[in-house]
Amino acid sequence: MIYRLIGRAVVVALSFFLAVIVAAVFFTLAKVGREAVLADNEIDQTLRFFEFTFVVGLVAAGAGRLAVVPALAAIIATEAFRLQSLLIHMLIGITISIGGILVGLEQPNAPPDTMLAAVAAGAVGGFVYWILAGRWAGNWRGPSGPRSTPPLSKEA
């Protein structure tokens, strides 16, 4: 069972990492728009791609730094209670992203487009995490036993 736990920890860590990166890409595209990435010629296209990649890296680093503790608490809860619902994982992602925006901007009145982008990016991050790891939350412990089987009665 210890090997299953270690394997699960690796899957969870990689899934969290990928979910943060995908959410950062989505958030950055939502904020700067598609036009900021596209260019007319090949040289400008290459430069804009590297600029976009750099910005995504910064967003992912900031989001990961702000989200690691609440995400770890949520991961422990979903693993402990075997919460495998897509809706739960997306709501957790939304909650963590909104909290990260409010803490990261250090102002309670964030612009509406930033909050909307954070909600969408959190939902995308929660979806990516669910696809990679959340669907199997708690399965490393083995079967949970029968759920609703009635007890057998001995009538002779």
Q: What is the predicted pLDDT for the residue at 8?
A: 95
Angle (CA) 55 47 44, round 5° = 135
Main-chain phi, psi angles of 18, to 5 degrees: -65, -40
Q: What is the pTM of this model?
A: 0.86
Angle (CA) 16 20 22, round 5° = 115
Asked if 97 contacts 122 with a C-beta cutoff of 8 angstroms, the reply is yes
End-to-end CA distance of the chain: 41
SS3 56: helix
Q: What is the predicted pLDDT for the residue at 34?
A: 72
How far from the centroid of its chain's Cα atoms is residue 156's Cα?
A: 56
How far from the centroid of its chain's Cα atoms is residue 145's Cα?
A: 29
* Tens digit of each residue's pLDDT (9 = 90 or more) over 83-100: 999 999 999 999 999 998
* Tens digit of each residue's pLDDT (9 = 90 or more) over 29-82: 998 877 777 777 788 888 888 888 999 999 999 999 999 999 999 999 999 999
* Tens digit of each residue's pLDDT (9 = 90 or more) over 102-144: 888 776 777 888 889 999 999 999 999 999 999 999 998 887 7
Q: Which two tokens stand for residue 82?
A: 């075997």
Q: What is the predicted pLDDT for the residue at 73?
A: 97
